[in-house]
Amino acid sequence: MKHRLLCVVFIFASVPIVRAQEAFDLSDCLVYTLNNSPKIRSEQLIREKETVTFFQQKSSFLPQVDAFLNYHNYFSDLPTYIFPQAEGSNLAGTPVNGPYPVQLGLPHNLNTGFEVSQTIFDARFFGNGNLSRKYRNFSEIKLSIVEEEALYQVAVLYYQIGINKEKLKFLDHNLARLKKLQSIVKLQIDQGFAKPTDFDKLLVKTSNLESRKNKLESGINQQVRYLKLMMGMEQSDEISIVPDQDQTISLDITSIEQGALLHEQLIKEQQELHKMNARKINADYYPKLRAYAAFLFQAQRDRINFFESNQEWYNIHQWGLKLSVPIMRGFERKTKKELSEIVDAQLMFGLEQKREQSQVEFQNAISQLNAARAEEKFQQENVALAERVYRQSELSFEQGTLLLMDFLDAEATLRESKMLHATALLDTRLAELKILKSAGKLKELLNQ
């Protein structure tokens, strides 16, 4: 009994755990992307780094405390101090002729202490709060641009996978019909109503269709892997993307107008940041005032026994103010101003170019959408016509009044018509995405 139980446990342990595929619609994919996209996470880390960098710059104006320890040895020559003749006579106890040199100090010297300093006035400090807020706005726009780009790429992949899966259904359906037709042709050959070459032609057509199916399946698998990568999903996770072939974007695309784009807002924020940084150039040449207090402890010894008991330490404490006034730094200020003017001109030119480019992209997207919708309607009519022709051909073939190759031609025409309609549908969805992206309204897809 125990051995039977172990066998049952082993059998169940050997069965692989099949993870259920989680169905994702477009909104699910986009929400998941916002929360897990590696591109978005990378931009968020950059933003956090820039925030800390701003605080680091601000910290240089806060109180500073420095401690130090300095030891030096004079070997056999102590420092020599020169006294005037009169003081030298007093020190020597006898009249001296000229300046009188005297060696002072001991060989071993240790100086330690700490200094506290605080900036009282520095023109670079003023306006840092506004600069920090402006840079946060700049970072938020950069993050929004990265989010929109990630959402756009995921939405494109979502529709491509969905349409390709619809094409795969067409191929599966046609393969099933061809295999059914093989059995019919075999029966006709046995009865003398068909030639063996007809069956061979049918096999070749079936083989070509299976090869096409395999390529399409491989392409879908590659797209799914890339979609997981863009969404920030583990490759081992199962995901099912099966949108309806007739799924449309619920937004009224025709009523969308081009608004202020994020890229334009980004350049405007860059201009504001540049102006604020340009004002800081002059601040570098304003006077700077700093207060400090130093607490010093000094010891001089004949031997290295600084911390023995009954040894004297001498204190030197002081406080003061230090005023620094820049006077001459070559042509540094002039060069910085010229460079600032060039950068300002570049930003202005870039803003004009971006506006013109955005208008062209928006108009092109509208033209592409109109053309794609017209093509989709045309291909939809072709599919309906091809289906009628196929049904008539199928009936004629069953009645023996239509050759096999003519029937296969009707089948191929129907299949290609459905493929072209699916491609036109994909072009329509992609054109709609381009309009939403050009209008800066891509995130509205999250609420579909």
Q: Please write the tens of the pLDDT for every residue from 415-446.
A: 889 899 999 989 988 888 888 887 777 887 87
Cα→Cα distances 167→24, 77, 177, 182, 417, Å: 19, 95, 15, 23, 11
pLDDT digits (tens, 9 = 90+) for 379-423: 999 999 999 998 998 888 877 778 888 888 888 888 889 899 999
Residue 300 lies in a domain: no
Buried residues in 123-139 as b, exposed as e (16+ CB within 10 A): ebeeeeeebeebbeebb
Q: How far apart are CA 219 and CA 215, in angstroms?
A: 6
Residue at 259 is within a domain: yes
- For residue 183, give its domain range: 25-61+122-286+326-440
- For residue 80, being part of any structural domain is answered with no
Note the pLDDT of residue 229.
Answer: 93
- Express as a percent the part of the chain with pLDDT over 90: 18
| 179 within some domain | yes
Does residue 13 fall inside a structural domain? Answer: no
Closest CA to 115 of 385, 374, 317: 317
Structural domains of the chain, count: 1
Question: In this structure, is residue 127 part of a structural domain?
Answer: yes
> Which residue bears the tokens 């900036």?
119
Q: Both tokens of residue 255? A: 């009523």
Structure tokens of 295?
């607490």
| Structure confidence by residue, pLDDT tens digits, 248-296 | 555 556 556 555 577 777 788 878 777 777 777 777 777 888 898 999 8
- Asked if 134 and 273 touch (Cβ cutoff 8 Å), the reply is yes
Q: Confidence band (pLDDT; 50, 70, 90) for 1?
A: very low
Question: How many CA atoms lie within 13 Å of 134's alpha carbon, on the beta-carbon side?
Answer: 16
446 in a structural domain: no
Question: Helix 128-191 vs helix 262-283: angle between axes, to the nearest 10 degrees?
Answer: 150
Q: Which helix (H) or strand (E) holds 114?
A: strand 108-121
Whether residue 311 is contained in a domain is answered as no
Tell me the two tokens of residue 283: 């601040």
**C-alpha to C-alpha distances, 134 to 50, 131, 141, 266, nearest whole angstrom:** 12, 5, 11, 11
Residue 365: pLDDT band with limits 50, 70, 90: confident
- From the CB of residue 146, how many other CB atoms can be counted at a distance below 10 Å? 20
Q: Residue 13 CB: number of other CB atoms within 10 A?
A: 7
| CA gap 237, 113 in Å, rounded | 61
Pairing of strands 108-121, 314-324: unpaired
CATH of the domain at 413: 1.20.1600.10
Q: Which two tokens stand for residue 71?
A: 């030891």
pLDDT single digits (tens) 148-164: 899 999 999 999 998 99
